[in-house]
Structure 1
Amino acid sequence: MSLLVLGLSHHGAPMELLESAVLDQSARGRLEAAIVSSEHVVEAVVVSTCNRTEVYAEGLTFHGGLADVSEALAAATGVALADLQPHLYVHYEDRGIAHAFCVAAGLDSMAVGEAQILGQLRDALTRAQRRGHVGPALNTLLQQALRVGKRVHTETEIDDVSRSLVGAGLSAARESVGPVEGSRVLVLGAGGMGALAATTVSQAGAASVTIANRSLARAERLAERVGASALPWDARFDALTDADIVISSTGATGVVLTAVEVADAAAARGGRPQVFIDLALPHDVDVAVADLDGITRIGLAELGEMLSHAGDVPQVREARDIVTGEVAAYLTERSAEAVAPTVAALRSRAQEVVDREMDRLERRTPQLADSDRAEVQRAVHRIVEKLLHAPTVRVKEMAQSGQGGSYAKALSELFDLDPREVSVVSTPPILPIIDDEGVGR
């Protein structure tokens, strides 16, 4: 089996296509279920954020798994496969592992270094675990990716230098309405991004922060945390007139502010400039809003352009170095684990030979003293251990250099081994080598 990663992201897909491919939580679960029920895939985790929709899959075959995942993704998004394929990226095995680690570290995000992806990846894994769509392969990989992402944010200063989508939007808004300090801000949505926006503008010294959300209780809880006020969702239109900056990230499937509604609010404002920062995918604010006098609309496409240079800063290079080292360590460990069953099978086979010969000796020499029999047994074990030492060490060394698979296969053929036998994991290990001074090693 092998790892396969297939998806769309802001790197290579137009925003319109990314909007079409956004999946809510229930749709992600259905997509995972469809993939794991296909012929060539046994595990699947779907990650869908504001700038990516991708599938991590453990496949039985590469080409079969690729076809199954591609077709399931097209069906889930409602986008024709022919329209998806030119924009899909595919990572296999080592590259897939490196991609997972980079994603968790925030190095593949539109806002390089952002930490929100850690929570999104953790939620995706938890959902897949709960629904039985993930097994040992993807669970191990993504748990390790989460650990690497946390390490990057702990050991580097990437959080201090990375500019979030919210921060980039506010910086751009400054040109139209001035600094956040003293501005009146309306936040639409109280989810993860909405909470980040409300916290950011509150800490930046906004004159007032108002939060509107479909669940008023959730808006009130967030407002209490950040010192804001909360409004029922239907009251958002009235709040438009007072807001200098509107930040929207609701997760709705259609626009929540039309050009007509914004135009009415602009007229009531008497022509004072107003900025809309649309962090949603699909977009919340009608793109036609940008054509209105005095109105600036900043969407994810514009934010992506603003943040495209972030990968050059020293702190990001330091984070990439950590990820590179972690990928190498993970691959080495995985290679060693891959040859472990063969090593265990070889030693199990040797143990069987020793046991048979010792039984034969006991039947033929019943008069042999216990001390002599023990000495013979130790001698046999020393011989076997010395014979196994070189191939055991060699297969582990070759595993670290990525060549363990072919060497392990050769051992299996030469000694007629089956690493899948239950006896391999149940047979006691051969005694350690006892040197001439009686010291074990």
Structure 2
Amino acid sequence: MDMAPMFIHAPAFIKEYNQMWKDLDSTPLMWIGLLFSILGLASHFCAVSGDELHTLPEPFISTSEMSSYYRNRTAQCLVEVNYLKPGRYTVETLCFYHALELLGAKDSEFGAYVVLGIIVRVAMRLGYHRDASRYANISLFDGEMRRRAWSMIFQIDIFTSTQARLPRIIRDGEADTAEPKNLLDTDFDESMTELPHPRPSTDVTPVAYVIFKPPSYGDVMRLDSQLTATHATLPPYLTVRPLSLSITDGTDLIIRRYALEVCFQKNRCVLHRKYLIPGQSNTQYRYSRTASVNAAMKLLDIQLTFNEASQPGGRLSRERWRMSALINQEYILAAMILCLDLSCGMRFARNLPSGRDDEVERMWSRDMRLQRLKTGYEVWSESSRISAMVAKAAEALKVMLKDLEPINSETRDAKPVATSCLMSDLLLVVNPASVSDAVSAL
């Protein structure tokens, strides 16, 4: 995929390019680095496509050598300007340099992953992870270009992390940047005081791929309806019910009922988790927040039911090994969702109306959600000696519970930070094949 349109507004770049030749001395060195990175990528693509230039400037003997040269010059500009004190063009230049690193060297996945870490932190330092509408000093034009850039950085994060077989660098809940509008470069410019309405999805634009690559929220809701409808068609004998009403049923049948229920609730968690944080403040996604929290609570209810029934003398005491291997990871996913929702709720609480309608709070009060997490922690603590995965989850949950305890106004802003940093530890316990990949696919 061509990432250049996500970072470069063609008409604006041409103006800057022409201005450079008129007054080279006043051209920012970081812009020169950006130009070098573009030349490096162009040279690389000439080399790999077999489309060698007929005439090469001295002293180059190949386009591949040119690409390496421009990559080094890009790095030189980044260092000379000091990319750790970022300014205009820094993020764009770093992203193109990252592409040169990834494309220009063999076995460079880890190096590209390290560069990506720098890109994400620099972009956050400049506020790319927050929507530009929050900042009065950012123009509409720059704000839209920031949205394009952050959308692309998010895609690069997924790709590079997968290539390096390492966790994503951008954590859930760290950004609220809106998606870019489906516009051509000619639809907006630096002088605009109001952005035009986005083009219809049938129009081909440079940003359409990034916008429409993930499923739309309408697709998510359609899948939710299908999932719920399928769950409703289960025959009565496969529908989960209290163990007290299953006295005459065999343990195999009981476990199948709960396995199907766990599968349903887990898939609701995965389907809606992307909108858990936006659902705190955006009414459009309120249903998703409610659905994911409700599913997480039901999963932890099942955890408690199984734990009690698998104690010595319990109805399922001989099946404990089967249930633990089957759904421990789903319990961890549920705990992660509740921790994330509670943590972000603390962060958003001061900026939201005190009398707002909160369906989650009506269904499951904060104290109820905290108590369910504490019960889950107790269950995992009991099992931590026989499972390294459960031990790690218990330790992460212990620290997060400490941060999520009832707080006073002085600590309200500080505590969610520590919790969000531990969220990735809890995520890493979950089998990537069953959860993380599915979430990334959203």
Q: TM-score, normalised by structure 2?
A: 0.26
- Would you tell me which structure has more strand in proportion to its own residues? 1
Larger RCO, structure (CA 8 Å, separation 6 or more)? 1
- Would you tell me which structure has more helix in proportion to its own residues? 2
Q: TM-score, normalised by structure 1?
A: 0.26
